[in-house]
């Protein structure tokens, strides 16, 4: 099994590296039908989440099939890049999620919330790998 070294967190807004004490992870509502898209998460994404209606092109229609509407969003920001500083999403400091072990503690903690579903938890783990420039699938066969 290969060992990977995580790169720094990347700001979702500006794309630049986030230093530990200068940013945060935000988990918020991603479905405008439920409320503010920058507000606190409201409901979990269901495993059979429907695609939103009304795509304007074939590409948009296909994208909606591949990427159904999600109720929960995961993002990383510099403090200065916060797009909605007056909204109350769920936040925690970047410094509290520097390692995979720390991140998994957050995954376990958030797994107890009624607004986090199974799919959201899987996507949260994937977010760590993608944002930190790690390959989430090593190709190693896992034992049964």
Q: Please report, for the chain, how many H helices and E strands are present, in that order.
A: 3, 3
Instruction: Give the Cα-Cα-Cα angle 55, 59, 63 (nearest 5 degrees).
Output: 75
Strand partners, 72: 29
pTM of the model: 0.76
Cα–Cα distance, 23 to 10 (Å, whole number): 10
| Res 70: pLDDT | 86
Q: Dmax over Cα atoms in the chain, in whole Å?
A: 47
Going residue by residue through the chain, which has 144 residues, state the pLDDT in tens, using 9 for 90 and above.
455 667 899 999 999 999 888 999 999 998 889 988 888 898 998 865 444 444 444 544 444 445 557 899 999 999 999 988 888 889 999 999 988 899 999 999 999 999 999 999 999 999 998 899 886 555 444 444
Question: Which two structure tokens, joined as six digits, stand for 96?
Answer: 């509290």
Whether 96 contacts 107, CB under 8 Å: no
Q: Are 120 and 44 a contacting pair, CB within 8 Å? A: yes
Taken as a whole, the chain contains a residue count of 144
10 within 8 A of 17, measured Cβ to Cβ: yes
| Residue 102: strand, helix, or coil | helix
The DSSP string of 59-84 is: HHHHHHHHS---SEEEEEEEGGG-S-
Do the beta carbons of residue 37 and residue 75 sit within 8 Å? Answer: no
Residue 130 in tokens? 């993608």
């Amino acid at each position: 099994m290969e060992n990977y070294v995580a790169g720094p967190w990347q700001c979702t807004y500006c794309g630049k590296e986030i230093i530990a004490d200068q940013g945060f992870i935000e988990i918020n509502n991603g479905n405008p039908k439920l409320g503010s898209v920058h507000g606190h998460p409201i409901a979990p994404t269901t495993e059979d989440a429907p695609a939103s209606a009304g795509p304007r092109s074939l590409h948009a229609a296909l994208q909606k099939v591949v990427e159904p509407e999600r109720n929960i969003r995961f993002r990383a920001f510099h403090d200065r890049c916060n797009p909605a500083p007056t909204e109350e999403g769920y936040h925690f400091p970047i410094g509290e999620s520097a390692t995979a072990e720390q991140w998994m503690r957050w995954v376990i903690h958030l797994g107890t919330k009624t607004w986090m579903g199974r799919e959201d938890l899987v996507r949260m783990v994937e977010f760590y790998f993608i944002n930190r420039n790690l390959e989430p699938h090593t190709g190693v066969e896992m034992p049964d």
